[in-house]
A and B are shown apart, each in its own frame.
Chain A
Amino acid sequence: MFLENAFEFLAGLSTTQLIAYFWPFFLLDMARYLFLDFIVILLYVPKRILQQAKYNHAKKQLYKERPLVSVIVPGKNEGKHIPRLSESLSYQSYKNIEIIIVDDGSDDDTAIICRELEKQGKIDRFIRNEIRGGKASAANTAFNFSRGKYIVHIDADSHLEVDAIETILLPFYMNDRVGAVGGDVRVANNDSTFATRLQSIEYIKSISTGRTIASELGILRIIAGAHGAFRRDVLQRLHGWDIGPGLDGDITLKIRKLGFQVVHEPMAICYTNVPETFRKLSKQRFRWDRSMIRFRIRKHRDILLPSAGFSLPNFLASAENIFFNLVLDVKWWIYVVQMLMINPSLLGYIFIINYILYFLANVLEFIMACVLLHSSMRRKDYVLFLFMPLIPFYTGIFLRIVRTYAYMMEFIHGASYNDKWNPWKVSRIAKKEKL
């Protein structure tokens, strides 16, 4: 009955009324995330097929040169994941790799496990920092002792597809202006809990598809710490990573500022473990979302301002992110107020119609992702389709509330400077220096 009334209400709307009632969807989200994505995918899929010869040539070049690749894995208390990671690396199709693990002041058995693996020759170098310095310092330690022409940064709780390293290196051989390549990150524990299933859909949509599209548009703004490849000379110019949280997004922008291209390679696949509870997930996102304010609005504000080094793609990469995530986050609160002012009795209909619109949009996005990634999709990935009806609640309500809270806390309190993710001594300096 309620649904029938809702559809009657929808059918009775003129086009102008339709847009007036549902402008966030039709004017913004559908335009950006459905039409634009659809057009780009439509162009990208045949382009990828046509570029196969170019990929093959790049692969030949790679094996001809056979450069040393340093796989660096910084982390704290990650020892339990390292045996599996080193095993997955031993199966890589590209063999000329060195594995460097940096223990950032672990207080568990990480050192014992890694020293043993080092003795067995399963990892090439294990460096233990007795005092925790934070992720960036651990990554820089690893970089300092690496020798490879390319540096692949991965998280300890990840494992790679057998051809991941080979594939992530190919863009470097296809375009010498590429300074860094983001690998695709999929959810390893996607059938563990309800939370991991929803995250799995989100990763397929926003990382696998979203970053491929951003890369195609030349506005990719982040190379995930879980799986990213960098040219040594580029990292040397930057002297490695700066203080986090959000150091992966930060270094991506710094590489862009140097004039290098950053691209996403959806076929270089890394599986990572995501938080299994909504509580842990909200903590993780609270940290990620704050970095948008800290790095894009504060640290890299210069990208948005006219200057001698102004670059439109860099501007768009940052502006798009700020507009669609930060500015449009406000739109929902405006929208809710607007609807309450127009006619509060219609709120129920408007909510259900919005839900259906976003559900359909998500289904279409998922279908586009399946088209893009079909060769690398697992059977259990298709099963996720059953959870699609919940995605509007997950992204539209849960993630939005976390994001809004994170932005507010960062704007008002600079909460990221008090995050225990960094040691206190580092956060204190970062806050003082306004880093």
Chain B
Amino acid sequence: MSSLDNKNKGNHTNDATDYLNEHEEISVKRHPYLIKSENASLALDGVKTISKEEIDKKVSDEVAFWLIDMHNWQQGWNTLCEIRRNLSPKIYLKPVLFVIDSSYIPDEIANASDGNISLSNCNSLLLEEWVSRVHHINQWIANLHLDSADTNIAFKVLRIITSRQTELEPITTIRRHSGYVYPILEPLFSKRDTGVLDTLSFLESQHLLSTRFISRAHFCSHCGSAFLNFKETCTQCGADDVHSDELVHHFKCAYTAEMEQFRKGDRLSCPKCERELKHIGVDYDKPSIIYNCNQCNHSFQDPKIMTECYNCGRQSEPENQEHRTIYAYTVSAIGRNAADHGLDTLFSNILETELNLFSETAFRDFFRIELSRINRYKVSNSTFVLIHFGDIEKLYIKLGNQASNIFHALSNIFKSVLRHSDVISAKNETLFLVIMTETSLEQSQIACDRLKKEINDLFKNNLEFQPQINILTKAFTGGLELDSLLEEFLDDVS
């Protein structure tokens, strides 16, 4: 209990401190509020109590954190979910602390709050300490200028991570199919498990989150469950009714057989020369391991490894299961900017609105069709262009909420250089894919040079900042392959 008591989830990184300093300090006296549980038995001295229904009304900045009675952890969990699933950032971002007694709470639930207070130790001093611990979160929320509802779950996740200013680390659990949970994000999702992983993966692909390797894990390719039974099976009949035994080589008489043949009670005795085997490495050794199938009697050394999902029961070879990397996440500079000012300030979003960016799937279709068209008729030229902004993160850090202005200007440059007939898509914030239809390689290079020059001029005149822009142009011919081009290009620019 004491370990939970003193848990400090508010330790933030140096980057985060710098980031906080950028924000205006808003001085408001905040207090904890205890949310009444259904049996309403808990009361804390000097702590105001409100009902769940009143939470919506109590969105004022006076609330330092919500306290939830976890005597009945299922009820407490439901309350936390209601808070986190609220669409108002002033509510769902607010710190939540659990008041715990001696009753059992699963780890992933206990870790879903911003902190836990033991009922026995709960006093005004401790509560005051917690008010100051979560101060930076409240300060960040107070600085948000948006009052609109956050309907996008990915955006909510981004804001939760940004507001806590800590690294989001997963914990292992047996109570979720996915095996790993990010406890603080769990209450945001009505549908658990892969929803969280997919959302984090999406945010990472958009460069909004940075990752740190935690582990690699196998997941069922059918249902996503992490609970797979890795079985050694017979190479002949596929049965998993196999047993293994060590081979023993007795040096003196060269007799070599399974350990079982040498065992005589608790001693090892050679069946050939009847000598006792005393010292491994001196009078005998174990050159290998042998598996025997109890079903078909086959013996082998390299059993076939199969996986069986505990959830859906599907069997498959490990290489056919999904092999995912589990990461810890921190917010990137782009992510912080987006969390502060909304996803609409992202460059790709601005371009999407102003230039009608196509989805990657649609772009791939266009790419395929254009390639077939050029190859078949051989009467015109089209060019494929890749544009990469190497240091866009610096731009977000430098510009903050002014980034959207410059991105609007940038999108105007894109608009002036590219034509309505060109097909544009964004892989993420930094990488743009363009099909310049009916444009030769030379013409496209002229256009790209113009694009580069105008972007450079824009930054030079306004920010004295020289962005790193990499452009690749390739004529549509023969067997042009999008994926290999992307791979080569990204290798080059990195």
Residues of A within 8 A of B (CB): 105, 115, 125-134, 136-141, 144-145, 239-243, 247, 425-426, 429-430, 433, 435
Q: Chain B at the A interface: mostly helix, strand, loop or mixed?
A: loop
A239 to B255, CA, bound (A): 7
CB pair A144–B256 under 8 Å, yes or no, is yes
CB pair A126–B249 under 8 Å, yes or no, is no
Residues in B whose Cβ lies below 8 Å from that of A435: 252
A-B contact pairs, 17 of them (CB 8 A): A128-B301, A129-B256, A131-B288, A136-B254, A137-B254, A138-B256, A140-B255, A145-B299, A239-B273, A240-B256, A242-B253, A242-B254, A243-B251, A243-B253, A247-B254, A429-B251, A430-B252
B241 contacts the other chain (Cβ, under 8 Å)? no
Question: Among the listed A141, A243, A429, which residue makes an inter-chain contact with B247, where contact means beta carbons less than 8 Å apart?
Answer: A141
A421 → chain B closest CB, angstroms: 13
Question: Among the listed B251, B272, B273, B288, which residue makes an inter-chain contact with A425, where contact means beta carbons less than 8 Å apart?
Answer: B251
| A-contacting 9-mer, from B44-52, B87-95, B279-287, B380-388 | B279-287
- A-B complex: 4 closest residue pairs judged by Cβ atoms: A129-B287, A136-B254, A239-B272, A133-B249
Residues in B whose Cβ lies below 8 Å from that of A433: 252
CB pair A140–B288 under 8 Å, yes or no, is no
Given A240-B272, A425-B281, the answer on whether A129 and B249 have CB atoms closer than 8 Å is yes
Residues in A whose Cβ lies below 8 Å from that of B327: none
A243 to B281, CA, bound (A): 17
Question: Among the listed B252, B254, B282, B285, which residue makes an inter-chain contact with A140, where contact means beta carbons less than 8 Å apart?
Answer: B254
Beyond the given A130-B288, A133-B251, please list 18 additional residue pairs across the A-B interface where CB-CB is below 8 A. A126-B301, A127-B301, A128-B288, A129-B256, A129-B287, A131-B288, A133-B249, A133-B256, A133-B285, A140-B254, A141-B257, A141-B287, A144-B258, A145-B299, A239-B271, A241-B254, A242-B253, A426-B254
A345 to B473, CA, bound (A): 96
Q: Which residue of A lies closest to B283 (CB)?
A: A429
B38 contacts the other chain (Cβ, under 8 Å)? no
B302 contacts the other chain (Cβ, under 8 Å)? yes
A268 → chain B closest CB, angstroms: 26
B290 contacts the other chain (Cβ, under 8 Å)? yes
Given A133-B285, A140-B257, A144-B257, the answer on whether A127 and B251 have CB atoms closer than 8 Å is no
B300 contacts the other chain (Cβ, under 8 Å)? yes
A175 to B312, CA, bound (A): 62
Residues in B whose Cβ lies below 8 Å from that of A128: 288, 301
A139 → chain B closest CB, angstroms: 8
CB pair A141–B299 under 8 Å, yes or no, is no
Residues in B whose Cβ lies below 8 Å from that of A241: 254
Q: Which residue of B lies closest to A433 (CB)?
A: B252
With most chain B CB atoms within 10 A of its CB, the pick from A129, A241, A243 is A129
Residues in A whose Cβ lies below 8 Å from that of B273: 239
A242 to B270, CA, bound (A): 13
Q: Which residue of A lies closest to B286 (CB)?
A: A131
CB pair B255–A240 under 8 Å, yes or no, is yes
B369 → chain A closest CB, angstroms: 43
B335 → chain A closest CB, angstroms: 47
A105 to B290, CA, bound (A): 15
Residue interface mask B285-296, A partner, CB < 8 A = 1: 111101000000
Residues in A whose Cβ lies below 8 Å from that of B253: 239, 242-243
CB pair A240–B254 under 8 Å, yes or no, is yes
Q: Which residue of B lies closest to A244 (CB)?
A: B254
B154 → chain A closest CB, angstroms: 46
A125 to B302, CA, bound (A): 11
B35 → chain A closest CB, angstroms: 63
A429 to B272, CA, bound (A): 16
Q: Which residue of A lies closest to B298 (CB)?
A: A125
A426 to B300, CA, bound (A): 26
CB pair A141–B272 under 8 Å, yes or no, is no
CB pair A137–B302 under 8 Å, yes or no, is no
Residues in A whose Cβ lies below 8 Å from that of B301: 126-128
